[in-house]
Structure 1
């Protein structure tokens, strides 16, 4: 599996001819390559929730590539209204198998919505996303979330080995609570921290998080747009 982080919560994982893009907030993330570069080869887009810094460039990328967008029913319906053609609607707790891999939406403690004609519209519930595929490590993108005890149940049920974990504080877990989750609730082989340093309101580095993770887990802080293999 090849993993690329594009800043904020935007990731791409590639395996077996699939190229799955998570939360493609590219234009505003500080990634200099641009959305058109990231779009190349994308087959699927998974969205954790409906905030603009996660939906990001989804419409552009989906139209350019014909990628299938997988997310909550409310989000994909809203995107269909903007011209996105291929969607897979889901909701929290459900799983689907599409093109040889399984997607499960699990709970996250956050919010989800966007301004539509000057009015804040609710776009379903926020989620985390689990990707399972034969012969590949299970990936869990936690989305934007607070700490919650049922993370332990998610670990027991799905046994994720790679975690994309928000650490930026204020709107999500910060270094202390994210490290607590990694130390006490999960058995990750690899953690990639995310949702930090994009804006001034967020923590600006992963140093404190790394220092507080005591479990034997690899913490990788990649450069934006530089892929690595696992």
Structure 2
């Protein structure tokens, strides 16, 4: 499997001839420095963890251009359908769907999910993390935006992820210390990839504090260069 980080919480997974985007926040993302056409080339699926603009991002535009199927919680998905989304795979927390070369499971995240309509906040379902499983590939857990919570232990027991994308930027999600605590307390990962940092001034600018907190632990910390694929 190859994983590409596009800054903030946006990722691309490439495996078995399948290309999947997670939280494709490109437009307006100060950390997005990649070529957009290359980033979306061949994409067949988009997974969205929750309804905030920095995670929904360019989902509608990319789906229209590529015909990609969008998987997210039912409420957010139906809101996207009302805005023109054609291919929607509806789910909710705890559910799993088979998408051919992989399955996706939505799991809990401790956060919020919504947008503004005419200046009024609306809820867009519950926030989630996503579990991606493909035969012969490491199980991937994108935590979405979240705090540490004890049921991460159940997620680890049920799904045994080997690669995790973990928010570390603080203020809106876990900071470095909490994120490292979650990884060390609940998971047996081959590698962890920090995210949700280095984009807006209001969140942590680098992964340095997280790397320091993980020092000496067996889990490999991957801090990828934006837009460059890493093999896991």
TM bin (shorter chain): over 0.9
Q: Which runs of 4+ in 1 moved over 4 A?
A: none
104-113 or 32-41, larger mean C-alpha shift: 32-41
Determine the C-alpha separation between the residues in 2 that align with 1:219 and 1:17: 26
The alpha carbon displacement at 1:33 in A equals 2.6
Instruction: Give unmatched runs, 5+ long, in structure 1.
Output: none
Work out the number of aligned pairs and report it.
Answer: 230
Whether contact under 8 Å (1:97, 1:103) holds in the other structure is yes
2:227 to 214, 218, 225: 225
Give the equivalent residue in structure 2 for 1:16.
Answer: 16
Whether contact under 8 Å (2:16, 2:101) holds in the other structure is no
| Aligned positions of 1:31-50 closer than 5 A | 31-50=32-51
The alpha carbon displacement at 1:215 in A equals 2.2
Secondary structure, aligned partner of 2:122: strand
Give the aligned CA root-mean-square deviation in angstroms.
1.0
Give the equivalent residue in structure 1 for 2:148.
Answer: 147
Q: Once the two structures are superposed, what CA deviation does each residue of 1:159-208 show, in whole Å capped at 9, x if it has no partner?
A: 00000000000000000000001111111101110001111110111111
The alpha carbon displacement at 1:34 in A equals 4.6
Distance 1:90 1:19, change over 3 A: same
Distance 1:34 1:50, change over 3 A: farther
The alpha carbon displacement at 1:28 in A equals 2.1
Determine the C-alpha separation between the residues in 2 that align with 1:17 and 1:77: 29
Determine the C-alpha separation between the residues in 2 that align with 1:36 and 1:114: 27
The answer to whether structure 1 residue 167 and structure 2 residue 168 are counterparts is yes
Q: Please report the TM-score for the alignment, with normalisation by the length of structure 1.
A: 0.98
Determine the C-alpha separation between the residues in 2 that align with 1:34 and 1:172: 28
Give the equivalent residue in structure 1 for 2:6.
Answer: 6
Whether contact under 8 Å (1:35, 1:57) holds in the other structure is no
